[in-house]
Structure 1
Amino acid sequence: MKAILKNYNSIILLLIGITVGSLIGLLFPDWVTYIKPIGDIFLNLLFVAVIPLLFFAIASAIANIESNNKLGKILGVMSFVFISTIAIAAILTIAGLWVFPVTAVKESADVAETLSTNANDTWGDKIVRFLSVGEFVNLLSRQNILAFVIFSFLVGLSVRKSGEAGKPFLSFLIAGNEVMKNLLTIIMQLGPIGLGAYFAYQVQSLGPELFGFYAKPLAFYYIFGLVFFFVVFSFYALLANGRKGMKDYWRANITPSLTALSTCSSLATLPANLLAAGKMGIPNYISSVVIPLGNTLYKNGSSISSILKIYVAFAILEWNFFEPSTLILAVGITLLVSIVAGGIPNGGFIGEMLMISIYGIPNEAVPAIMIIGALVDPLATVLNATGDTVAAMLVTKLSKEKFILSEEEQAV
């Protein structure tokens, strides 16, 4: 029990902060004027930290990848599996929300009016604006994160091509990545206070109906997530290695699942996943590549929560989520959040930054979706972590490699 409380300490503190903030918003609304600046400071710290964090995380990851011919093939198949299955998770979530819609909460008019749009932009203008900027200094704005992600990726590629001459710069990137991860960890320690303060503001502004609104998306996530966990992962295992693959997957996946649920950490689940991969018959040269990279880059739970958070933001602001252009961008954001931001602590917050940048979502809607992201974290971790082994099974199948028989099966 003590271990579980320790592992869920941050979520418990966050819940306490939200509860206290809610009570202040309900019982002492006059205090909100003095409390809201604390939430604003917390959000601003996140906004400031996210740009250097993204640069070091992406550039160092790309620069560190090493490959030979066989590894290159595995990486290519792995990339296809990661991208396609994350997109499938996003599309299935959209379909689920279409069938089981979440009732919107009416947001205050002043928030909705803060939307900044470019209605006269052509699609070409939008693509240019999303993917690039005209001045280097503009890359440092959180309004241009997509362009910044691409720039960081290209820097990582350039370091790889620089060989020995680029080694000092690679060391700088690795050190910077570690420093920025620790910075975000420090900032997130203020989360219970910062989000609690902002939640007080939301409760005071929106009223008690806010709680009914949160209950529905949370219920949707846990019900949908459990169905996805058992049905979709079973289908992937069946596709990879038939009935035997599905049986082996669930027999070996119990320990990783319990580890993910009890630790709320994908990284802590990595050793259990590597051990389980052998029991699933995944060749070691595949599992040793796919599972560690998947631990950082492959996030089914984050894919589902990303779509849900975008939907929630649109529901709060009474915007139409199911417009084709909105759905296409939502899937694109989900791919970025699940893959690019997967290795960053609290990387889900990158999704909020992308949403603000692309959709022009007012800052006032961000804490609501941040809170949802935190509350779905236990199941999201299970989906994120245990998806790595089933992805490795798919990579084995699509790479036309053979599954390894267990010692018992070899003796028969």
Structure 2
Amino acid sequence: MASKNNEDGGCSGKKTPLLDELEKGPWPSFVKEIKSAAETSKSAQDLLGQLELSYEEKKGHWKHGGLVGVLGYGGGVIGRYSDVGEQFPNVAHFHTLRVNHPAGWFYTSAALRTICDIWERHGSGLTNMHGSTGDIILLGTTTPQLEPTFQELAQAGFDLGGSGSSMRTPSCCVGMARCEWACYDAMKLCYDLTMAYQDEMHRPPFPYKFKLKCAGCPNDCVASIARADLSIIGTWRDDIQVDDAEVTQYAAAGVSIQKHVCDLCPTKCMEWDGKKLAIDNRNCVRCMHCINVMPKALRPGSDRGAVIMIGGKAPIMQGALLSSVLIPFVPAAELMETLQELIGRIWDFWNEYGNNRERVGELVQRVGLPAFLDGIGLDPVPEMIASPRDNPYIYFQARKGAQP
């Protein structure tokens, strides 16, 4: 795709030996895609030139920020400017728009063509499908083109996603649309949450970003446990369903149930005597390994819902955090109601006590889990403990001079 409204100029034909190296090897290359766009796009040509300069000088030349946006919204647009705009005039402004994706990333071909046509008219034509949060990322346009792009997207049925200190665009796996392991309708929940929190997405009200991801089962195909401030991960609370005849078929087909299933169970809650598979479901941690190895023989229990976890984040201000259990189980039918109540409490506490640019997980670490739970009105439960004590014994040291 290429933009049709770029200025004259650019760096067409400039040698890019350092970028050329990134086209070598077995993996797909973003450089190849930008070069393809550069055949008809002046901004893509200048983008290659600036990127080559950055590699030569070992210095980034993007200035992030600037008060740019669209009418009525405080998020969805990431301002970006070049500090070598005189040398590369077609990327002097190179703003990014985040467009709210459909739940599960399901598109019709007509919808994709509509997005691409709009972006070719108003921007560089370069896209990232999709960003880390899940949005459609439209890379590179000028300030005057932001509002026309937004209006065309809105008329086509698309909205902008979240950016800045806001609730970021919720995302989910394909859930029940294609996955037989889904323990709740992740796509419906993601859509309902998106509709419920439009203000918090488009008008940043928080100390920092807040990400919410819905995974239909413990496989967590959206990596919510590592990337979401609030993770909703499908699970069950009764016994794994076992088809003994299918277990026998797997064994007959050459699957070593002892080696490939039982020995790899993290809690060693499974036993195989050569004829029957026994599961101690009280010690099962719902890791999904056995189900993934023998999907015809094993499947999640029938009492399904989700575990709600809090605090995941990538290493930006502080180190990376994995989410911790907040509510061990919520029945599928009660998820939306429970989440709306819980999210409101979390946001109230975070807005009151969170520091600037402090994620929820960092707040929990700073004030401590007991204070956080008290602040949001939840009672502690054993599942909230990240790990047991290393030493079960407590030693009391006698005061110096005291009688034994």
Return the structure number with greater helix share: 1
Question: Which structure has the highest strand share of the two?
Answer: 2
User: Under a length normalisation based on structure 1, what TM-score does the superposition of the two structures give?
Assistant: 0.22
